[in-house]
Amino acid sequence: MKALLISAIVASSVMGASLISEAKTAGLKPIPSSAKAVEKLTSNPKNPTTAAKVELGKMLYFEPRLSKSGLISCNTCHNLATGGVDGMSAAIGHKWTANPHNLSSPTVYNAVFYSRQFWDGRSPHLEDQAQGPIQAAPEMASPKGVVTDVVNSMPQYVKMFQKAYGKDVKITFEKIADTIAVFERTLVTPSRYDDFLNGNTKALNKAEQKGLKTFIDKGCATCHNDIALGGTMQAFGVVAPYKYMNIGDFKGDTKGLVRVPTLRNVTETAPYFHNGQIATLSEAIKEMGRIQLGVDLNDQETNEIETFLKSLEGKKPTIVYPILPASTLTTPKVDVVNN
């Protein structure tokens, strides 16, 4: 009996090792197990991550006074308590404005691993991306000058910028966005899936490993690969049109390519697709099979893939909600009637 048990354990370990090799051959990569390796991978060499920048960036991420209304922060649409999203089919911004293209808010968790930012991939990195929503009329609707005036009006922020960047720092709009991006670069969520790819064959159970095998065999890893299991620009509706493509006018970039959403924490980021028209993960899986792979996934295959995707629920970094500095006499006032 003991010999049989040992034999079963060895066989399971060998099968797990084989699947790890297959996954890596398919282009799947884990978040490194070493904290130093993660920091090296996620830090911007032109603006290295430091504790002072991260803490300041977190405060600015939660700072509603960066918006024209004084009510909307980055966290409004990219809520860190709810998977980094707002759960809406279309993002809601200034004056309760729905995104004019009916685009949903993608998760900010693990966005550091994307090769391009925004659904149409127009931004190359988080520093550039962070500038967009603050200024966009349907989002935070705040001019650059107002943003810098808000931050410069509060001595605590000025001191924190000096601590983070040096006494001679000039607090510009770009520097504010850069600092928010430094914080966002820390929003990484390693999961049991990463433990598995890093060599722990017991990290995923048999059902999850079976789901990973199906995920690879059906071709899902063709687009959902690398560390983010997404994040690159790919053709959308390869073999059939998305059934809700008429909701909103989004057609991708100039080549019709769409930024592939990450599958990490996908159980927390419904509704699905760029226009948030699919409510359940199982329906999203079947629709992707139909329009991208040209296969009609049956219920068993769908359940296997969904079981695997659940293993991508990662450990979130601990976020302590910051106490923000008080406004001063020079802080721009909000016109609640005309704003």
134 near 251, Cβ under 8 Å?
A: no
Asked whether residue 48 is assigned to any structural domain, the reply reads yes
Return the CATH number at 169.
Answer: 1.10.760.10
DSSP string computed for 261-311: PP-TTGGGSPSBTTTT-B--HHHHHHHHIIIII-----HHHHHHHHHHHHT
291 near 242, Cβ under 8 Å?
A: yes
Asked if pLDDT for residue 9 goes beyond 60, the answer is: no
Which two tokens mark 127? 């520093």
Each residue's pLDDT tens digit, 103-120: 999 999 999 999 999 999
Each residue's pLDDT tens digit, 141-157: 999 999 999 999 999 99
156 and 289 both lie in a single domain = no
Q: What is the pTM of this model?
A: 0.94
Asked whether residue 15 is assigned to any structural domain, the reply reads no
pLDDT confidence of residue 334? 85
pLDDT confidence of residue 323? 97
Q: Is 258 left (phi over 0), alpha (psi -120 to 50) or beta?
A: beta
- Compute the distance between CA of residue 188 and CA of residue 191 in angstroms, rounded to an integer: 10
Each residue's pLDDT tens digit, 281-329: 999 999 999 999 999 999 999 999 999 999 999 999 999 999 999 999 9
- Compute the distance between CA of residue 270 and CA of residue 176 in angstroms, rounded to an integer: 30
For residues 7 and 212, the model is more confident at 212
Strand ranges in the chain using DSSP code E only, listed in sequence order: 92-93, 97-98, 233-235, 257-259
- Compute the distance between CA of residue 221 and CA of residue 46 in angstroms, rounded to an integer: 32
Domain that holds residue 56: 38-184
84 and 170 both lie in a single domain = yes
- Compute the distance between CA of residue 66 and CA of residue 327 in angstroms, rounded to an integer: 12
Which two tokens mark 146? 């107002």
Looking at 139, 184, 268, 301, which residue is catalytic?
139
* Among 184, 211, 236, residue at a domain's last position: 184
* Among 169, 184, 199, residue at a domain's last position: 184
Asked whether residue 224 is assigned to any structural domain, the reply reads yes
Residue 139 annotated as catalytic: yes
For residues 336 and 73, the model is more confident at 73
